[in-house]
Amino acid sequence: MTNKNPLKNRKKVAILLFFGTILLLVVFAGRIAFIMVKGEVNGEDLSQNLDNLYTRSSILEANRGTIYDVGGESVAMDATSYSLVAVLTDEWSNPDEPQHVIDKKKTAEILEKHISMSKEDILTTLNQKGLSQVEFGEAGKNLSFDTKKSIEEENLPGLVFEETPTRLYPNGIFASHLIGYAALPSGAEDDTATKAKSSTDLTGMMGIELAYDDILKGTDGKTIYQKDSFGYVIPNSKVETTEPENGDDIYLTIDKRMQVYMENVMSEIDEKYNSAMVTATLMNPETGAIIATSQRPTFNGTTKDGIDQLWQNLLVENTYEPGSTMKILTLAAAISEGVFDPNAYFQSGVKMISGIPIHDHNPAGWGTISYLEGLARSSNVAFANLMEKMGPDAWKEYMNAFGLGQTTNSGLANEAKGSVAFDYPLEQANTAFGQGLTVTAFQMLQAFTAVANEGQMMKPQYISKFVDSDTGKETIVEPEVVGNPITKEVANQTLSYLKEVVYNEKGTGVDYQIDGYEIAAKTGTAELVNPKTKKYYSGGTDYIYSVAAMAPADDPKVLLYITVQQPEIKDGSIAGSGVVKEIYHPIMKRALEYLSLGEEEDAETNNVKMPKVTGIAKEEALKSLEDTQLNVTVVGNGDTIVQQLPLPEETTIENQRVVLMTNGAMTMPDMMGWSKNDVLKVSEITGLEFTFKGEGYVVSQSLEPNANMQGTNKITIELETPQG
C-alpha cells in the first residue's frame, strides 16, 4: 500500500528545494565570479559596453592646407557652403514656433531675390505633395555665408540650411588646370545629413590639389569624455583629446598680378578666335619658376563652370609636334658641334631625302642664302642640312640631353613623355625642324631654359615652399638643375643668333619686337594630323602656331612660350600667327615692366610703402591708410580685409589707387573717371573678367555701383579720351 503520509512528502520536497537552491546559488556565484574575472558575457566585453553607454566623443576638425601665390595671396582655401532645404510637414512644429513653410507664395517671392530661381519654379517646388521636405536643385546648393545670412534675416519659417565643407578659389579662372580643385568624393555630398563632414573629406581631383593631396589633407582630432544618463559630463572623469593635424600650406611660384593679367588677355583672345587649344606660360629661366600659366579651354575653380570642355592639363598631358620652335634646340646643338657657320651658303626651297622632298614654307625658296638668313627665315632645308652635318647619332644624343621623349617628373598626374620617330633618314631630318616628334609644353620650357640660362637646364617649378600650418616650419623648394646639354658659351651664342629672327628684316619674328628691350625668339607653325584621314591638314588655320621668346636677350630673366591651335579666323584679316602676337605683346610688355619696376631704386620723393592691412578690421585698415595720400577703394560689404593691392611692402606713389577686398559679398565700386589700369586692379583682386571699349577713362560700366559682382560672367567698361 502506497505511503501517502503528507508530512513526509512535504519534508522530501523541502529537502529537494533546499539542495536545489544551494545548487543554483553555487551556479550563480560561479557565473558571477567568472564574469567578474573575465569581464565578459557571451563574448561581449562588459566594461567596453559600459564605456559605450556613457562615453561620448566629438570630432575636432582639421583644416585642409591653403594654397597661396608667391606673395602670400590665397588662391585655394577651405570654406563652408550651404544647401537650402524647405520643411513642408508640420509634425515638428508647434503653434507658437512653426518649423515649416507657412506662406508658400510669400516664401517664393522673397527667395527669388536670393537664389537663381524664379518664384514660379520655387512655388512649384514648395507645392510638391507627399514630401516632408524639399531642396531647390543647383540653385539651392553651394550658397555662400552671406547668402545664407540674407535669407535668415527674412525670417521665413521652414527654411533650414545644411553645411557642407567646400573649397574656395577666390580668383575664379586662375591657372585652374595647374592648381586643380578638391571636392567631396562622389556621393558624399548626398549624405551630409547623416554623417558630419570635415575638410579632411575633401579630396584632390586635379592638378596640385590632386598631386599633393596627402600634404594638403589634414587629420581630424577627437575628444573623448564621459556623460551620465542625463547628458551631463561626469565630474573628475578622464577626458582624452587628440589634437587635429592641419594640412600643410603650399606657396606657388605664380605671381597673382601676372596671372590675373594673363587670364584676362587669354579670355579676350579666346572669345575673339575660339581656338581649339591655347597655352601661355611665363617662366623665370634662371630658376625654372613659373610666374604665370594659362590654357584655353579652362574652368572656374569655385563654380566648375567650363570644366566639361577639357579635363586635360595641357602643360603636361597634351603632346603635339612643336614645329619650328624646335629649331632653337637644333641651332644650339649645331653650334655646340661646330657645324653652324652663319656665313656659309646653301640652296633653299627643297631638299630630297631618300627620294622624298623636304620643303621650306616658301616652296620656291629664296635662292642660295646664308645659314644666318636661313635661321631668320626659318628654313627647314637649312636645319635638315645642319642635322646631316652633325650626324643623326649626335643629334639624337642632344635630343636626349634636352629631355625630349622623357617626362619632366613634374609630379602632376598623367604627365606624357612624347615620342621621337628616328629610324629612317627622313624621320631624322624631320626632327631637326620640329616634325615627326611629339612633346609637352613642360618639356619645351625645360629645354629652352638651357639656352636662356647659360647652358644649365632647369626643371619647371610651380611650388616655392611648403609651410607646416601648425608650427610655421618652412620647407623651401630649391631650383633644380636637371642637365647641362650645352655650355655657357654655346647658350650665349645661340641667344645672339636668335635675335636675327626678330631684328633681321627678313626674319619671321620681326613683329615680336618690344621698344626698349632686346628679344631673342623663334616662331613656329606646326602641322596637325587630321584624325579622320590620318594625314596632315593642308591650308586654312589647321596648324599649331607658337613662339618662344626670351628677354632681355643678353641675360634672359623671362621666357614666354605660347601655343595656339586652330584659331577660327573667319574674315582672313590676319594669319594664324597673328593670334600668337596678340597674346604675346601685352603679356611680355607687362612682364618686362614688372621687371623694370623691380630694378628701379626708390628715388622719388613721393614714394609710399604699402602697409599690410589684410586680416584686420575694415575700419582699422582705412584708418591706417588715412595719412598715406593714397586713393583707397573697398570692394565688398564685409568687415575684415582679406586681400589688398598693392601687396604689403610694395612701393607705390601718392594718389595711386589702392584696392582692398573684404570678406563680404563683392560689390561693384563706382568707377566713373577711373583709368584702365585702376579698373584692372579690381579685376586682379576679384578674379572677375572686365572687357573694355575705347581708350582713356571710364565713362560707363555695365554693372551698377554697389551691385553684387558674384556670379557676374563679364563686366563691360566703356572708356573715352577727354576732349580739349
Active-site residues: which are they?
324
Q: What residue type is assigned to position 609 of the chain?
A: K
The dihedral sign for the CA sequence 129, 131, 137, 140: positive
d(CA 403, CA 399): 6
d(CA 532, CA 384): 29
Q: Which letter does DSSP use for residue 600 in this model?
A: S
609: helix, strand or coil? strand
462: helix, strand or coil? coil
Runs of H (alpha helix) within 466-513: 488-503
583: helix, strand or coil? helix
Angle between helices 488-503 and 327-336 (to 10 degrees): 130
Q: Any idea which residue has 626674319 for its cell?
A: 507
Nearest to 536 by CA among 544, 546, 545, 527: 527
The burial of 435, by beta-carbon neighbours within 10 Å (0-12 exposed, 13-18 middle, 19 or more buried), is given as buried
What are the beta bridge partners of residue 667? 708
Look at strands 690-693 and 715-720 and give their pairing. parallel
d(CA 557, CA 215): 31
Q: What are phi and psi of 115, to 5 degrees?
A: -125, 160
The dihedral sign for the CA sequence 114, 115, 117, 122: negative
List Cβ neighbours of 150 (8 Å cut-off, separation of 6 or more): 114
d(CA 679, CA 690): 8
251: helix, strand or coil? strand
Runs of H (alpha helix) within 163-252: 176-179, 207-211, 213-216
Q: Any idea which residue has 583707397 for its cell?
A: 632
- If you count them, how many residues does the chain have? 724
Residue-by-residue DSSP string for 347-410: E-SEEEETTEEEE-SSTT--SEEEHHHHHHHT-HHHHHHHHHHH-HHHHHHHHHHTTTTS----
- Distance set, CA 52 to CA 56, 60, 222, 243, 533 (Å): 8, 20, 16, 22, 70
